[in-house]
Each structure stands twice: as C-alpha cells, then as structure tokens.
Amino acid sequence: MKDGKLLINEDVYNCNPSLMLLSNHELILWIKDAKWENYYIDLKSKKLNKVSYNLGLNSINRDYILTFENGIQKIINANNLLEPVIIKTTVSLQSYLVYNNKLVGYSKSNCISSTNRETGEFEWETNLSGRRYLINNEEQEANITAILGVYENHLLVWLAGDRLISIDTNNGTILYEILPFEGLVDVNGFQLWDFRDLFLEQETGKIIMLNKLFYYEIDILTQQVQQCKSFYTGNAYGLGRLPNMPEPPTDITFKQAVYTNDFIYFIGGYTFATNIVGVFNRKTYNIDWQESINLLETDNFNNFKDIQYANNKIYVLDTGNQLHIFEKEE
C-alpha cells in the first residue's frame, strides 16, 4: 500500500483494498476494495479491470469465485475467466467451498446446500436451523459460522455456541453432531465467540485450534478432543484478574492465526494490545519465534488486525492500515 493505492512490483493501481479481501492466483489478483468496488488485475498484462458484478471472496477454495449480479449467482474459474456457470439455487450463499465437482455453501437461514459446479444443478440441502445455545442466560440461535472443509465424506460445519456438525457429502445426511469444547466456556477465559479460529488439516483428519492460551486438536473420525498445549500459568491479562494490577502479565494470549502443516503463524499479546507476531511449532508445541512491535508510537489504539503467510514471509496489517512484513533470516 502506498498513499491509499495498491503497489504490486512497483506498479501502482488506483484501488484501496483490505488485506482480507484479496484472492491471489497465479496470473490474476481479485480485489474488493474499501468502497466495495470489484476488480481484478491481470498480472501478465498489468491491467486493472473493474467488473460490474459483486465478488464473493469468502470461499475456502480460492480457485473458484462466486459472482452476484441482479440477484443471479454464478461461479467463475478465478484463473482462466471462462464463462460463469449459473448456480440454480433460490438462496443467497453467505460462504462457500468448492471441492471436486461440488459447490457447497450456506445461507442466512442456516441451510447447507450442494450444487454441481459444472452444471449448476442442485444436489441436496440440509437445514441446520433450530439449534440453540445460552449466552448471558438467554437463548440464541446457533447460526452457521464456518464451513471448515471436507475430509473423506465428512463436510465439517461449525455453528455458534461450540457445535461441530459432520454432514455426508454424498446426500446431506448428518453423520454426527458434537460439542467438542463443552465445559470450556467461562473456564480459563474462554467465551462462546472464541471458538472461531479453526483449521481442518487434510493429511491427518484433524481440526486444530490455537486460540486464547491453548492449542487443541479434534480427531474427525473418533471425535476425540485433546488439549496439546497450555500457555496458562495463572498470570494472563483479563483472566480472573484486574487489568490495573501491578504485576505484568506473563501468559501470551493468541488472537488470530494462519495454519500450515508444521507451523502456526499468529498475532497476539500479553495485555489488551495485539502487538505480538510469532511462530508456533506444531511438532514441539513451543513458540519458535516471536517479536513485539511498538504500535503505540503512531496511535494509542493501534493493534494488529490481520495476518497472512505466503512465500516464506509473514504479512501483518495493523488498524492504522500499515503492512508489516517479516522474513526468516537464513
């Protein structure tokens, strides 16, 4: 970013994107900018192209992008820009996943549906509405918050209120429904909204989570939950202690993470501020590297807000829209 414009390989483009709304491919960079305008950059010709349709960049699989125009949803191959296929569904998809020849997404009404991505034909639909959970002694609708991915024939869906549902990808039948972190709420600082930073690892069939002060793994087939690492020693900010206590916190709190097979790249902090960037080793369950950045020099309320990892570099965006890049020294 430079003066509110996007800079790629010294080429300046007149659009102001948010870091989380970029979808990067080999030759095409898809962008939804700060004003919700939609573009793509042909990295070969270096041309910025504005499109009339609305881009849905909320997919786990970045090879396909949903477009919305005049109430019609289409799916387009994000790499070769072939003619979009019309999705034959009456509901607007909030988020979606493309795998094999299927497009699976969910709507605001908590319905999961499967469509053939090559023909757009409807295959099945499963309604997950009606599930409830308690927060502050009041019942709330357990809305779908994420499609975690597919393992074998399990479509893994996460709902608010600590609920994991496995759906058969062939016909939409519910295979099982569990509360993997039941009993953790209001314990060791966890709240219901903390169970959101989850990652499905295809190689091992496990769902992993580095959040708050803990690292967890869920086995998809056995449904067993294991706390593999705890960073909690009783001296964490905001966990049963007042923020103005004289003794400084020594327990790190993880706020957001990017997962790979061997490492988890995270942002977090020791106090209310999110100013730590680091690397958690999934083999040793230890933090290999971390660095504290003084973000308060520019703004008293500045914090890290997003993290991405690519090409052996860690990219971190702060709330002042400054991009910090970290590279491992050889």
pLDDT one-digit tens code per residue, 147-160: 999 999 999 999 98
Residues paired with residue 167 on neighbouring β-strands, in sequence order: 155, 174
219 part of a folded domain: no
207 part of a folded domain: no
134 part of a folded domain: no
Q: Please check whether residues 7 and 63 belong to one and the same domain.
A: no
User: What are the C-alpha distances in Å from 227 to residues 59, 213, 234, 280, 282?
Assistant: 28, 11, 17, 15, 13
Give me the mean pLDDT over the 37-56 stretch: 79
105 part of a folded domain: yes
- Residue finishing a domain among 99, 127, 155: 127
User: What SS3 class is residue 295?
Assistant: helix
Confidence of residue 7 (pLDDT cuts 50, 70, 90): low
- Among 284, 325, 287, smallest CA distance to 308 is for 325
Q: Please check whether residues 46 and 78 belong to one and the same domain.
A: no
Confidence of residue 33 (pLDDT cuts 50, 70, 90): confident
Q: Please check whether residues 93 and 34 belong to one and the same domain.
A: no
pLDDT score, position 288:
96
Q: What phi and psi, each to the nearest 5 degrees, are found at residue 296?
A: -75, -10
Q: Please check whether residues 286 and 235 belong to one and the same domain.
A: yes
Range scoring the smallest mean pLDDT among 22-36, 118-132, 207-221, 305-319: 22-36
Q: Please check whether residues 106 and 14 belong to one and the same domain.
A: no
177 part of a folded domain: no
Q: Is the pLDDT of residue 281 over 90?
A: yes
Residues paired with residue 79 on neighbouring β-strands, in sequence order: none
Q: Please check whether residues 102 and 38 belong to one and the same domain.
A: no
pLDDT score, position 283:
93
Evaluate whether 153 touches 173 at the Cβ level (below 8 Å).
Answer: no
Give me the mean pLDDT over the 95-113 stretch: 89
Q: Please check whether residues 32 and 116 belong to one and the same domain.
A: no
303 part of a folded domain: yes
Q: Is the pLDDT of residue 20 over 50?
A: no
Q: Alpha-carbon distance 184 to 212, whole Å? A: 12
β-pair type (47-50, 28-33): unpaired
Evaluate whether 243 touches 259 at the Cβ level (below 8 Å).
Answer: no
Most confident of 11-25, 65-79, 260-274, 299-313: 260-274
CATH code, 248: 2.40.10.360
One-letter amino acid at 151 equals: Y
| Contacts by residues 239-248 (CB-CB < 8 Å, ≥ 24 positions apart) | 239/188, 239/189, 239/213, 240/189, 243/271, 243/272
pLDDT score, position 16:
55
Q: Please check whether residues 242 and 303 belong to one and the same domain.
A: yes
pLDDT score, position 242:
45
Confidence of residue 65 (pLDDT cuts 50, 70, 90): confident
What CA dihedral angle connects 116, 121, 127 and 128, to 10 degrees?
20
123 part of a folded domain: yes
Q: Please check whether residues 18 and 87 belong to one and the same domain.
A: no
Walk across the sheet containing 144-151 and list its strands.
144-151, 154-159, 163-168, 174-178
Q: What phi and psi, each to the nearest 5 degrees, are found at residue 224?
A: -80, 140
Q: Is the pLDDT of residue 144 over 70?
A: yes
pLDDT score, position 247:
63
Confidence of residue 164 (pLDDT cuts 50, 70, 90): very high
Residues paired with residue 42 on neighbouring β-strands, in sequence order: 28, 47
256 part of a folded domain: yes
CB contact set of 24 (below 8 Å; sequence gap of 6+): 30, 62, 310
| Percent of the chain topping pLDDT 90 | 31
pLDDT score, position 19:
41
Q: Is the pLDDT of residue 94 over 70?
A: yes
Q: Quote the number of domains for the chain.
A: 3
pTM beyond 0.85, yes or no? no
CATH code, 98: 2.40.10.480
Q: Please check whether residues 45 and 74 belong to one and the same domain.
A: no
pLDDT score, position 111:
94
Q: Please check whether residues 76 and 39 belong to one and the same domain.
A: no
pLDDT, the chain, mean: 80
Helical (H) or strand (E) element with 231:
none
- Residue finishing a domain among 127, 150, 183: 127
Q: Alpha-carbon distance 105 to 95, whole Å? A: 6
Helical (H) or strand (E) element with 105:
strand 102-106
Q: Please check whether residues 328 and 235 belong to one and the same domain.
A: yes
One-letter amino acid at 195 equals: F
Confidence of residue 206 (pLDDT cuts 50, 70, 90): very high
- Residue finishing a domain among 127, 159, 181: 127
Structural domain containing residue 25: 1-51
pLDDT score, position 14:
57
